[in-house]
């Protein structure tokens, strides 16, 4: 028997046991086959020196590679059937099963689990308080069971990162400013009818079509653009728009202008338990997808189970081998800080930013905030080294160079794991954006949530895979981190070439386009 447990955080109030007939939806992640072959294939399709470069797999080919063995499928199916569970959906790759069942059946299926109702700020959830067990013969066929334990994050004040307007004249970052800084001309807009890009939203964040239309009517006058999202996959909730969703949609459609845009809307309670599971399940089941997806969400690595992160990472590989680029925001908390005990802190990496199979985007600000000047580090820019994923070969030499040259200015070695996946991969402006939300133009919105769709839109224009010299190197400024005696609020600093705050730098569009076109495989 294998036991898995949970500690319910104090801000949730227990309001009683779940009724035996209460319905639950659990996700079973079945063990896949050939993960090492998938990884190798991803390396080859991404390597310009390989004969396989750019030769992406179809969803059917991915399915043939990773589909769980007959034994795994039969064992899990008969275990569920034995407990009377028949209401299940699978995916094309047959490596996930989503099943609906009563609390009574779930407790019999997973001995030790005891489902309870918890409430907080008007939100109500059902979770298992105790650890649950899975018998050995089934456990070896599962990566994890989702939907039991993870809690929705604490809702933060919607205005927490909005800086106060102090009365100075400041126009802030708009599509025109971005297009100027990153050298996008009026001709740099999408023209390929088949090109598509996407943003994914979670945690009840919705964009509003009227906000997008108003944003484009105010800020989109100088370039050809679309003012409507082409497809919403999932449910668009009613009511107020979310700042994250508004920012993502408005800015991916400003740099990736005139390109058909989709929104994956992963709403509701279930998704907030494992925010990325529902979305990745959708991707792994759709054969025809946009090539670029941006996601401005993440969680501290230490708040997630290793099994969950490993499996999501494999799902990212499945996307990569199909030629799908996933861009994640690096987070807005600098290196982060985890208190390990009295006077003992370490930095706190964020997932999925720390996955080696996504492109992670950090943040910068203008040197002179009132001018389109060169960029320096935005101190909030997430970055550092994963404690879960080892450093992939493709970044070893760049990171070694950074660690060697920056030795004197580096934080103490006990704060970070130099053998982990280093991030971000690149950066873009993250300070003082204009966003239209609930029909009102809002200034001074900041975060790597802004820089990520900006880069995503440009990649959609280029739709390539590898970065050449097409980036502005960021060499000034440091990120924030633990406010303790040893590091005194200072994390990593940017430096010439790659650094763990701004990656390889911010996009210089024509140079990036040229670099990527030069590396295109013969079609």
Ligand X SMILES: Cc1cc(=O)oc2cc(NC(=O)[C@H](Cc3ccccc3)NC(=O)[C@H](C)NC(=O)[C@H](C)N)ccc12
Residues at the site binding ligand X, with contacts judged by CB under 6 A: 153, 158-159, 161-162, 203, 243-244, 296-299, 329, 331-332, 350, 445-449
Q: Is 499 a residue that touches Ca ion (CB under 5 A)?
A: yes
User: Residue 103 has which token pair?
Assistant: 């609390």
The residue number whose beta carbon is nearest to ligand X equals 298
Q: How far is the CB of 150 from ligand X (least distance, A)?
A: 11
Q: 244 contacts which partner out of ligand X, Ca ion, none, CB within 5 to 8 A by kind?
A: ligand X
Per-residue buried b or exposed e for 41-57, using 16+ beta carbons within 10 Å of the residue's own CB: bbbebbeeeeebbbebb
Say which residues have a Cβ less than 8 Å from residue 168's Cβ, sequence separation at least 6: 370
Whose tokens are 């969803």? That residue is 59
Name the CA dihedral angle for 112, 113, 117, 122, rounded to a multiple of 10 degrees. Answer: 130
Per residue, what are the HEC states of 38-89?
HHHHHHHHHCCCCCCCCCCCCHHHHHHHHCCCHHHHHHHHHHHHHCCCCCEE
What is the closest distance, in whole angstroms, from the C-beta atom of residue 497 to Ca ion in the complex? 6
Cβ-based nearer residue to Ca ion, 303 or 469: 469
Nearer to Ca ion, 388 or 493 (CB): 493
271 binds, among Ca ion, ligand X, none (CB under 5 to 8 A by kind): none
Chain mean position to CA 323: 17
By the rule CB under 5 A, 425 interacts with Ca ion = no
Report the residue number whose CB is nearest to Ca ion: 499
Instruction: Kindly tell me the sign of the dihedral angle through the C-alpha atoms of 455, 457, 459, 462.
Output: negative
In the complex, the smallest distance separating the C-beta of residue 435 from ligand X, rounded to whole angstroms, is 8
Query: With respect to ligand X, which residue has the nearer C-beta, 65 or 327?
Result: 327
Q: Which of 211, 214, 248, 271 is catalytic?
A: 248
Residue 296 interaction partner, one of ligand X, Ca ion, none, beta carbon < 5-8 Å per kind? ligand X
Residue 224 Cβ vs ligand X, minimum distance, rounded to whole Å = 28
248 is catalytic: yes
The pairing of strands 196-201 and 260-265 is parallel
CA 58, 64, 68, 74 torsion-angle sign: positive
Nearest to ligand X of 153, 521 (CB atom): 153
161 binds, among Ca ion, ligand X, none (CB under 5 to 8 A by kind): ligand X
**Distance between CA 394 and CA 399 in Å, rounded?**
10
Active site residue 244: yes
Catalytic residue among 204, 244, 301, 375: 244
Spatial neighbors of 273 by CB under 8 A, at least 6 apart, are 146, 147, 149, 150, 151, 152
User: By CB under 5 A, is residue 378 in contact with Ca ion?
Assistant: no
Q: How far is the CB of 211 from ligand X (least distance, A)?
A: 14
59 binds, among ligand X, Ca ion, none (CB under 5 to 8 A by kind): none
Is 165:144 a contact under the CB 8 Å cutoff?
Answer: no
Which partner, ligand X, Ca ion, none, binds residue 162 by CB below 5 to 8 Å per kind? Answer: ligand X
Which of 386, 449, 451, 494 is catalytic? The answer is 449
CA proximity to 56, closest of 266, 385, 278, 289: 289
Q: Which is nearer to ligand X, 203 or 482 (CB)?
A: 203
Q: Which of 267, 259, 274 is nearest to 200 (CA)?
A: 267
Q: Cβ of residue 494: shortest distance to Ca ion, in angstroms?
A: 5
Q: Which is nearer to ligand X, 335 or 516 (CB)?
A: 335
Judged by CB under 5 A, does residue 473 bind Ca ion? yes
Residue 307 CB-density burial (10 A; 0-12 exposed, 13-18 middle, 19+ buried): middle
Contacting residues toward Ca ion, per CB under 5 A: 473-474, 494, 499
Active site residues: 244, 248, 449
């Amino acid at each position: 028997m294998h036991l898995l447990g949970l500690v319910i955080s104090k801000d949730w109030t227990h309001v009683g046991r779940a009724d035996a007939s209460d319905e639950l939806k659990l996700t079973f992640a079945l063990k896949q086959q050939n993960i090492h072959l998938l990884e190798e294939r991803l390396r080859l399709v991404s390597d310009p020196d390989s004969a396989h470069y750019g030769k992406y797999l179809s969803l059917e080919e991915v399915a043939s590679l990773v589909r769980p063995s007959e034994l795994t499928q039969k064992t899990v199916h008969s275990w569920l059937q034995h407990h009377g569970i028949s209401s299940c959906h699978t995916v094309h790759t047959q490596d996930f099963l989503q099943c609906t069942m009563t609390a009574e059946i779930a407790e019999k299926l997973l001995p030790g689990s005891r489902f309870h109702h918890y409430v907080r700020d008007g939100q109500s959830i059902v979770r298992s308080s105790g650890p649950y067990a899975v018998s050995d013969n089934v456990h070896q066929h599962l990566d994890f069971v989702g939907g039991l334990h993870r809690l929705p994050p604490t809702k933060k004040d919607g205005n927490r990162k909005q800086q106060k307007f102090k009365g100075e004249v400041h126009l802030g970052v708009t599509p025109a400013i971005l297009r100027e800084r990153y050298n996008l001309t009026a001709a740099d807009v999408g023209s390929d009818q088949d090109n598509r890009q996407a943003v994914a939203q979670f945690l009840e964040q919705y964009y509003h079509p009227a906000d997008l239309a108003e944003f484009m009517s105010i800020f989109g006058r100088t370039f050809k653009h679309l003012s409507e999202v082409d497809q919403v996959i999932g449910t668009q909730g009613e009511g107020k728009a979310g700042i994250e969703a508004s920012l993502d949609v408005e800015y991916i459609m400003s740099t990736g202008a005139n390109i058909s845009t989709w929104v994956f809307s992963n709403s509701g309670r279930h998704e907030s338990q494992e925010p990325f599971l529902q979305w990745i399940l959708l991707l792994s089941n759709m054969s025809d997808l946009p090539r670029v997806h941006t996601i401005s969400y993440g969680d501290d690595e230490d708040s997630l189970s290793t099994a969950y992160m490993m499996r999501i990472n494999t799902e990212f590989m499945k996307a990569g081998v199909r030629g799908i680029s996933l861009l994640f925001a690096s987070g807005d908390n600098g290196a982060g800080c985890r208190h390990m005990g009295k006077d003992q802190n370490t930095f706190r990496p964020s997932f999925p930013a720390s996955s080696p199979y996504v492109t992670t985007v950090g943040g910068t600000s203008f040197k002179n905030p009132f001018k389109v000047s060169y960029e320096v580090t935005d101190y909030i820019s997430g970055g550092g080294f994963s404690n879960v994923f080892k450093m992939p070969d493709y970044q070893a030499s760049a990171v070694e160079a950074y660690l060697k040259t920056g030795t004197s200015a580096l934080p103490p070695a006990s704060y970070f794991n130099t053998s982990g996946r280093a991030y971000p991969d690149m950066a873009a402006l993250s300070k003082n954006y204009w966003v239209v939300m609930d029909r009102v133009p809002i200034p001074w919105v900041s975060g790597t949530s802004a820089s990520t769709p900006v880069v995503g839109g440009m990649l959609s224009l280029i739709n390539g895979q590898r970065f050449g010299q097409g980036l502005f190197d960021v060499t000034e400024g440091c990120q924030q981190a633990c406010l303790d005696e040893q590091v005194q609020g200072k994390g990593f600093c940017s430096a010439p070439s790659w650094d763990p705050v701004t990656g390889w730098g911010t996009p210089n569009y024509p140079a990036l386009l040229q670099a990527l076109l030069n590396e295109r495989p013969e079609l």
